[in-house]
Structure 1
């Protein structure tokens, strides 16, 4: 996307220190918020809409961000929701947690704190919450600790709440861990990473590989990723959110690719047993990126499920 011009006028009051820019794509208008928190600045993209607020949290792969994770779905979903797409700490345009930060708290705990502050600054009270992979872990943790704020929860192959039967790290997790190691990032390694994330990599051509590769080259993101991987190893994986799944009170929809090689399907059983109000849809011939591999069906399930909660 080209550089974003500063907005001349804003349709709502702007909190002190909160900066907004705007841009228009061929399908949707994006407003870019820069929201200060006590942890650091959080970048939030907004797609305006008249419906309830839907906060969408991205995964943790190299070069990931809110918009890149869900760009393909925004035109359809913005017909029903006001969409907020935060860049989680360490990713996109948000601040980078330090080694000391990651020693003190997990990336999931950091994200929940930053997200709560950013949403407060944006004047968001109750909202629907959606997350996949790393963002799914943050969504679970937020729904466990801020139960009065989450009106509907959609989880796509979320970390933390999943309890795998097979060995870990999984094939997809190994690809993520090695991407910035062994000579650093390359288009070839990005292509290998994407092949592991999806069922049919032919859906994602060289232009997609190149764009995601270029998004992964920010030096501060690379430095953070090394710290993030080291912290992940020290903690022996993600927070064991599965222990408190019963604390989720929001109606919950699980979306999973049957052929996911990163957060594997069999680990979902504990979520089906422990989340009080839960339903699930499994997509055959689909990997870890449900929102891209099966975009139309993903959009329909999210819209129908959350729409019925209104």
Structure 2
């Protein structure tokens, strides 16, 4: 990260401001972070930027409710889902930045937004990378999953703590020993913004009322972009079995599964992730 020039923008949309960080040059790669407490574009992908910025203009938005972007309120989330809000806000953001077509990558909650964006405006997404995306997945086991329970629990029952953040990270990954106390503390501190906490309560309540993520699996056939699915075999948040529907319904799709890996592929298997993403996005259709 020390050699990278990070450019920061605040882009006005009809919803509120979206914070965007950019680095690198080349074809545009938009990377959407997951929905855990304290998540943001740079925090989720900082370790991947040195490799990816050599090949791409990497665009890292903070999704609504996260990082330095605006916080949807209770009324907003009663009217529309977080994925619907995010999709519209991000397309407005990309339009303001003059970005027409782009590669798109999303993890978990960001994977749901990436799916929705590729379904709604398929002509704009050139290639799509999805890491255990919400909404495109049908669970075979009980829900909420173990990882989802930890996310719901984090801001409840006495509020956030470093102990609860450590428990959350242990659920997200296969081997928590590769993430030390400094990672736990940094993620914990990022989760303490009062406006983010208020948003998270509204988000969790709306999630419960809607019965989970938007059923994006219904429109998987609308995706035209060549698609790479990356999944940890040991993911306890969005489990591998759910990939079967995407493999069946997305017309041009491939799947890479990582053994001894959980929900954070880009962190747990960084080198393989960087190489697979770079190679896939560099292929000619």
Structure 1 length-normalised TM: 0.91
2:247 to 267, 272, 293: 272
Q: Helix, strand or coil: the match of 1:148?
A: helix
**Equivalence for 1:106:** 81
2:6 aligned residue: 30
Do residues 58 (structure 1) and 6 (structure 2) align? no
SS across alignment from 2:22: strand
Give how far 1:209 is off.
Answer: 0.1
Give the whole-Å Cα distance in 1 for the aligned partners of 2:75 and 2:159: 24
Aligned-pair Cα RMSD in Å? 0.7
Given that 2:262 and 2:268 are in contact with CA atoms closer than 8 Å, whether structure 1 keeps it comes out as yes
Structure 1 residue 167 and structure 2 residue 142: aligned? yes
Please give the alpha-carbon distance, in whole angstroms, between the structure 1 residues aligned to 2:256 and 2:210: 31
| Larger helix fraction of residues | 2
Contact 1:152 1:309 in 2 (8 A): no
Aligned mates of 1:29, 1:173 — CA distance in 2: 35
| Aligned residue number for residue 137 of structure 1 | 112
Inter-partner Cα distance in structure 1 for 2:114 and 2:221: 14
For 1:227, which of 179, 185, 202 is the aligned residue? 202
1:43 is aligned to 19
Which runs of 5 or more residues in structure 1 are unaligned? Answer: 1-24
The DSSP-based 3-state class of the residue aligned with 2:106 is strand
Please list every run of 5 or more consecutive structure 2 residues that lacks an aligned counterpart in the other structure: none
4+ long deviations beyond 4 Å: none
1:265-303 CA distance string (max 9 Å, x none): 001100000000000100000000000000000010000
Q: Which of 146, 149, 156 is 2:131 aligned to?
A: 156
Q: Distance in 1 between matches of 2:3 and 2:203?
A: 34
Tell me the SS of whatever aligns to 1:29.
Answer: coil
User: Higher relative contact order at CA 8 Å, sep ≥6: structure 1 or structure 2?
Assistant: 2
Task: Kindly state the Cα deviation for residue 189 of structure 1 after the two structures are TM-superposed.
Answer: 0.1
Greater radius of gyration (CA): 1
1:259 counterpart = 2:234: yes
Matches within 5 A, 1:1-310: 25-49=1-25, 51-309=26-284
- Name the CA distance, whole Å, in 2 between partners of 1:282 and 1:76: 21
Aligned-partner Cα distance in 2 for 1:170–1:29: 38
SS in structure 1 of the partner of residue 122 of structure 2: coil
2: CA distance, partners of 1:53 / 1:267: 29
Shift of 1:48: 2.7
Normalized against structure 2, the TM-score is what? 0.99
CA distance in 1, matches of 2:120, 2:223: 8
